[in-house]
Amino acid sequence: MAVLVTGGAGYIGSHMVWALLDHGEDVVVIDRLSTGFGWALAPEAKFYEGDIADRTLLRKIFETHAIDAIIHFAGSVVVPDSVRDPLSYYENNTVKSQALISAAVEAGVPHFVFSSTAAVYGTPQDAAPVLEDSPLRPESPYGSSKLMTEIMLRDTAAAHPFTYTALRYFNVAGADPRGRTGQSTAGATHLIKVACETALGRRSKLQIFGNDYPTPDGTCVRDYIHVSDLTDAHLKALQRLRAGEKSLVANCGYGRGFSVLDVVDCVRRLSGRDLAVETVGRRPGDAAFVVADASVAANELGWKPVHDDLDFIIRTALAWEDHLGKRNER
């Protein structure tokens, strides 16, 4: 059997493809290469360039390959962009996911692992780790678009022989420790990516969006998870579904947070370089404090992160930025 990875040329998707291949899986990728890169694809993966809403292409893939599971990463992910252009996010993240789920049901694909987000929770009411049964109050079209897809998966599983796992990511960062792939999107907004680019002179400054939040140093606090630990959670979710277990929603995070200033200080220390920092106003849709309770992933998936170390996360991110710089100079 084969696994179809949507968005497999993107940041998290490309890590997932490598992880699946490392575990002996047959991997098929669909990606329209809007933000992903063909060179990021593992050569052993079978690649189709196209859109996840292209029913003709999906039918071809399902007829050609014995797909028993889909791991779905394709979508738009920038919260402020979703506030400025909500309809594109509902189109790309929700409407196209509906087309993919529908095609999967039609083809008899039994398992689905979905890339969801902590943005479905909105701003937690206190500084406690967020549980899966916490109120779902997304504050951006991005979060709403992902929650809508979770609801579609829930209802599809109730109506068809179909099981799913929705993994709600907290802040994914870092790069493959073996240097095979990493966050490569130009103009990316992820804090650690931006901080590393700034440290290496590829950006003139780093902007901090608000320093008046109700947190210890006034900047937003987030739960940063290394991308390799995240892909391991997907592998375990896939194995669990194949073993006949029921559908599941689970948080993916480490259960502790770091502020924006914590991250900036860590990048300064590890890079040995100063960062020009500018504090500006808050961004729409940014919550003050978001940290995971990941006990469901631990108990149900048997997930045990091995890279719960901000220094390690940032070292791999810096190493990847150095690699990208040398690659682009060739």
**Whole-number pLDDT of residue 330:** 47
CA distance 164 to 133: 17
The amino acid sitting at 249 is V
This prediction has a pTM of 0.95
Query: What mean pLDDT comes out for the span 21-27?
Result: 98
Beta pairing class for 26-31 and 248-252: unpaired
pLDDT higher than threshold 80 for residue 66? yes
**Whole-number pLDDT of residue 29:** 98
pLDDT higher than threshold 70 for residue 329? no
Band of pLDDT at residue 18, cut at 50, 70 and 90: very high
**Whole-number pLDDT of residue 285:** 65
Q: Between 191-199 and 310-329, two packed helices, what is the crossing angle to 10 degrees?
A: 60
Q: Is 169 a catalytic residue?
A: no
CB 315 within 8 A of CB 267: no
Per-residue pLDDT of 37-48, as tens digits, reads 999 999 999 999
Query: What mean pLDDT comes out for the span 286-303?
Result: 94
Q: Any idea where the domains of the chain sit in the sequence?
A: 2-173+225-252, 191-221+255-329
Unique residue bearing structure tokens 């149900």: 300
Query: What mean pLDDT comes out for the span 172-179?
Result: 97
Band of pLDDT at residue 326, cut at 50, 70 and 90: confident
Per-residue pLDDT of 201-232, as tens digits, reads 999 999 999 999 999 999 999 999 999 999 99
Query: What mean pLDDT comes out for the span 259-277?
Result: 97
Query: What mean pLDDT comes out for the span 45-58?
Result: 97
- Which tokens hold the place of 19? 């992880």
Residues 6+ apart with CB under 8 A from 99: 52, 53, 55, 58
Average pLDDT, whole number, for the chain? Answer: 95
Q: Give the active site residue among 11, 89, 90, 142.
A: 142
Band of pLDDT at residue 328, cut at 50, 70 and 90: low
CA distance 93 to 14: 19
Per-residue pLDDT of 110-137, as tens digits, reads 999 999 999 999 888 777 899 999 999 9
Tell me the percentage of the chain whose pLDDT exceeds 70.
Answer: 98
- 2-173+225-252 CATH, one of 3.40.50.720, 3.90.1720.10, 3.30.2130.30, 1.20.1560.10: 3.40.50.720
CATH superfamily entry for domain 191-221+255-329:
UDP-galactose 4-epimerase, domain 1 (3.90.25.10)
Query: What mean pLDDT comes out for the span 57-66?
Result: 98
